[in-house]
Amino acid sequence: MSGAPETLKVFSAVIKVVLSDGVLTQEEKRLIIAIGRELELDDGDPLNVYNAVLTGEEIDGGREMTRKERVDLYRKSWMTVHFNEDESEDEAAVMKCLREELHFSKDEAKAIIEPLREKQTEDEYEEPKSLLEKMKKIIGR
């Protein structure tokens, strides 16, 4: 893979994945909104890309992404997917697409999210200190 990934091309690839089964779930909507926000797309770009994908147009272009932007996007997307501690097949497909579009190997992607996984595990086992924290933990907030 040559060159840095471009924002519109990355977003287009994600839209293709979420539309591939013909159903756009709430989780997928939440994820593409987070991705679009993180990519800092111009006003109108998300809708233009969506419409282009629907009509079968190929989308290239956008701003070239730095390594830091790619890492931040992958982490933010992972956190969005794992907000409720589960990952649907559709969300897994989006994460795989992102990994490929952002030019990360499987090992690189794993290393990028490992600190997030560790933090999630620490938070699960941390004993709540107050009654309010205990209640929040019980109801999952």
Tell me the pLDDT tens digit for each residue of 13-68.
999 999 999 989 888 999 999 999 999 998 899 999 999 999 999 988 899 999 99
Q: Give CA–CA dist 39/61, Å, rounded.
A: 13
Mean pLDDT of the chain: 86
Looking at the chain, the whole-number percentage of residues with pLDDT higher than 70 is 83
Total-model pTM = 0.80
pLDDT (tens digit per residue) in 72-93? 999 999 999 988 767 889 999 9
Task: Yes or no: say if 31 and 81 are a contact pair by the CB < 8 Å rule.
Answer: yes
Q: Give CA–CA dist 121/63, Å, rounded.
A: 35
Question: What does DSSP assign to residue 24?
Answer: -
Give the model's confidence band at 121: pLDDT under 50 very low, under 70 low, under 90 confident, else very high.
Answer: low
What is the pLDDT at residue 115?
84
Q: Give CA–CA dist 55/86, Å, rounded.
A: 32
